[in-house]
Amino acid sequence: MESVSFPPLSRVAVSGGTHGNEMTGVYMVRHLQKEKIDKIGSVSVSTVLSNPRAVEICRRYVETDLNRCFTEALLNSPVTDSSPYELRRAQELNAQIGPKGSKEAVDLLIDIHNTTSNMGLCLILYSIDWLTLHILKYLQSKMASVEVRAIQLDIPIAEAYSLESVGKHGFAIEAGPQPNGVVRADIHNLVKEAVDHIFSWLQEFNSGSTFEGGEVEAYTLVKSIDYPRNPVTGEITAAVHSQLQDNDFKLLQRGNPIFMSFSGETVKYDGEDLYPFFVNECAYYEKKIAFHLARKIKLTLPPIKVTD
Amino acid sequence: MESVSFPPLSRVAVSGGTHGNEMTGVYMVRHLQKEKIDKIGSVSVSTVLSNPRAVEICRRYVETDLNRCFTEALLNSPVTDSSPYELRRAQELNAQIGPKGSKEAVDLLIDIHNTTSNMGLCLILYSIDWLTLHILKYLQSKMASVEVRAIQLDIPIAEAYSLESVGKHGFAIEAGPQPNGVVRADIHNLVKEAVDHIFSWLQEFNSGSTFEGGEVEAYTLVKSIDYPRNPVTGEITAAVHSQLQDNDFKLLQRGNPIFMSFSGETVKYDGEDLYPFFVNECAYYEKKIAFHLARKIKLTLPPIKVTD
């Protein structure tokens, strides 16, 4: 396979607090800012606390989910004093580290998130980007103690709604399980190790190393399943079953229990074999998602190197 | 040891949602209400969703922590429209299932809570009450799969600030780990099993069984330890160390790591041997508590039975 080349990645943004109660990114960004880290080797680093007002009150957002505000339509919509805070903040961030889709945008944007689901360490990627997939492959080779997974969302970049879509390249790091509002040392260490490896990769890449091609696996979203709910009040009437809870990325097969109602009945899965993820994520109760289901795909990567 | 007798326990209240984002009690109470459960054997049951406004917005409280409002001083303080919602609600609850300290108060109050700490199933008890300690002993004998622990707070009943102090007898059930805003089936099942056993005990007690005396262990609070903080901003500068995280009730000894700073340094424990609990509880960041430390005590119970 012929190798593909990309310009050097000299400007990188690391962001946290896009959701104000996901604490790993909040503390990591605060620490980088306190230490005044603005350059690592050949790479200039911008550190961004994305939603400071939500961080202040330790909630996911103030008025609307910031991480749904980065579509081209929303970034270019007129804002007034009555626009939601997060829409105004999204446009500020786009001016600061974008604009999305322009040559001024940062070369790579790493946005740090947490989940209450037992997802370990995942990268969430838009469409197919050889460069970010090579970073995934590198992390998989370097982090032996943990399985680094990728969730690949098939959304055109203009419609991509999350912060990382503002960079020329970008991904979210999703790490869990961690309750909202809590920082766990194990999760912090996992994300810190990943970020350190990413900066090592960037040094190697910028200095001219060729990264060999190969295969990587990724999970693509097929559909989402809601909790059983009271049709009148909308209240949930069942919990995720203990046999599904904490079993993100374990194959779900027809007949496996997925819910246990509060009166004790088991609800079984009745569909094709798929991989659950974001199982019982706190923030998805309001989005009417008990878990997502994914198919596993294989991607064959070309070798890559920096443009001569 | 001579046996001690108590009047029958004919009126019991089961409450949840005293903290609006601790979901086990919320769903358990809603389910009992939907099923219109108001009597179990010889016992009349009141089900109480303690802080409905906080439940509605899925936060611990709206204006102030409801579970600190049940001292005699606060319950008897004048309220106006500008009093915090929770103070007004505490007085409503006191009128409904109390008044605290009166003969009209429910005989037993069971208040269901969750923690993000790995505390399993605990009863939190005020002072020494042979009756609730007998319920503890019964749960320990019936629930073989889990260690049921007791935390005994040495606070005179007039100054006791939490809801369960409104009943003639009462305790909080504390169950975790469970993130705020999330319901986990395993934790739900654990609490449901405990509540079912408590009602079996109540039937046996009311029908005249004598419960043999014996020894039980309990943990009594010695002191609380805060996170290391930036002296200027008050922001925490370290996470609970991975070797302490999830190790509630495992003896902490001098030299054991307790914190890991975000720059990577370990902080070690420098005090007498004690038992940590509420380790890295979400709601205690604002109360400046990283964990509590307890001493283990042994209590010798007399036999008890219902008054002839």
pLDDT in tens, A264-307: 999 999 999 999 999 999 999 999 999 999 999 999 999 999 99
Distance, in Å, from the CA atom of B152 to the CA atom of B130, rounded to the nearest integer, reads: 12
Going A48 to A51 to A53 to A57, the CA torsion angle's sign is: negative
pLDDT at residue B1, as a whole number: 79
Instruction: Return d(Cα B135, Cα B128) in angstroms, integer.
Output: 13
A32 Cβ contact partners less than 8 Å away, ≥ 6 residues apart: A14, A45, A47
The count of residues in chain A is 308
Chain A, window 214-243: residues with a beta carbon less than 8 angstroms from a chain B beta carbon: 235-236, 239-242
Select from A251, A257, A277, A280 the least CA-distant residue to A269.
A257
pLDDT beyond 90 at B126: no
Quickly count helices (H) and strands (E) in chain B.
6, 15
In this complex, which of B35, B185, B280 lies closest to A242 when CB atoms are compared?
Answer: B185
Task: Tell me the pLDDT of chain B averaged across its residues.
Answer: 96
What pLDDT does residue A144 have?
A: 86
Query: Cβ contact (<8 Å) for A180 and B181?
Result: yes
Residue of B218, B297, B308, B215 whose CA lies nearest to B1:
B215
Residue A174 DSSP code: E
Query: Domains, chain A, ranges and CATH?
Result: 4-218+300-306 (3.40.630.10), 223-294 (2.20.25.160)
Indicate the residue type of A17. Answer: G
Most B CBs within 10 A among A22, A191, A282, A286, hence the mutation to make, goes to: A282
Whether residue B117 lies within 8 A of chain A, CB to CB, comes out as: no
From the list B187, B293, B288, B194, the residue with the least C-alpha distance to B248 is B293
Among A31, A185, A263, whose Cβ lies nearest the Cβ of B240? A185
CA distance B94 to B105: 8
Q: Is the pLDDT confidence value at B76 over 90?
A: yes
Give A54: exposed, middle or buried? Use CB within 10 Å, 0-12, 13-18, 19+. buried
Q: Residue B16 belongs to what H/E stretch?
A: strand B11-16
pLDDT at B268: 98
pLDDT confidence of residue B127: 79
B31 Cβ under 8 Å from any chain A Cβ: yes
B19 contacts chain A (CB < 8 A):
no
A262 touches chain B (CB under 8 A): yes
Q: Which residues of A are catalytic?
A: 174
Instruction: Tell me how far apart the alpha carbons of residues B135 and B201 are, in angstroms, rounded to a whole number.
Output: 7
pLDDT confidence band for A2 (50 / 70 / 90):
confident
Interface with A, mutate which of B182, B281, B289 (most A CBs under 10 A): B182
Q: What is the mean pLDDT of residues A156-185?
A: 96
Residue A42 pLDDT grade (very low, low, confident, very high; cuts 50, 70, 90):
confident
Q: Using a pLDDT cut of 70, give the percent of chain A over it.
A: 100
pLDDT at A73 over 90: yes
Q: What is the mean pLDDT of chain A?
A: 96
pLDDT tens digit string along A199-257? 999 999 999 999 999 999 999 999 999 999 999 999 999 999 999 999 999 999 999 99
Structure tokens at B17: 């949602």
- Please report the pLDDT score of residue A128 as a whole number: 87
pLDDT for B157: 87
Q: Does residue A1 have a pLDDT over 90? A: no
Residue A157 has pLDDT above 90, yes or no: no
Nearest residue to A261 (alpha-carbon basis) of B175, B188, B196, B45: B188
By 3-state DSSP, what share of chain A in percent is helix, strand and coil, each rounded to 5? 25, 30, 45
Please list, in sequence order, all residues whose beta carbon lies within 8 angstroms of the beta carbon of residue B159, skipping any fewer than 6 positions away.
B71, B72
B35–A260: do the CB atoms touch at under 8 Å? no
Q: How far apart are the first and last CA of chain A?
A: 19
CB pairs under 8 A between A and B: 88
User: Are A240 and B116 in contact (CB < 8 Å)?
Assistant: no
Q: Is the pLDDT of residue B140 over 90?
A: yes
- Minimal C-alpha gap between B210 and chain A (Å): 33
pLDDT in tens, B264-297: 999 999 999 999 999 999 999 999 999 999 999 9
> Cα–Cα distance between A205 and A108 in angstroms, integer?
13
pLDDT computed for residue B128 by the predictor = 87
Is the pLDDT at B156 greater than 90, yes or no? no
- Residue B232 pLDDT level (bands cut at 50, 70, 90): very high
The average pLDDT across A97-117 equals 98
The answer to ipTM > 0.85 is yes
- What band does B184 get if pLDDT is binned at 50, 70 and 90? very high
B144: pLDDT strictly greater than 90:
no
Stretch B160-167: mean pLDDT, rounded? 97
Just list the catalytic residues of B: 174
A149 HSE (CA, 13 A, CB side):
24
CA A25 to CA A190: how far, in whole Å? 12
For B140, the token pair is: 């320990």
The residue-averaged pLDDT of B94-109 equals: 98
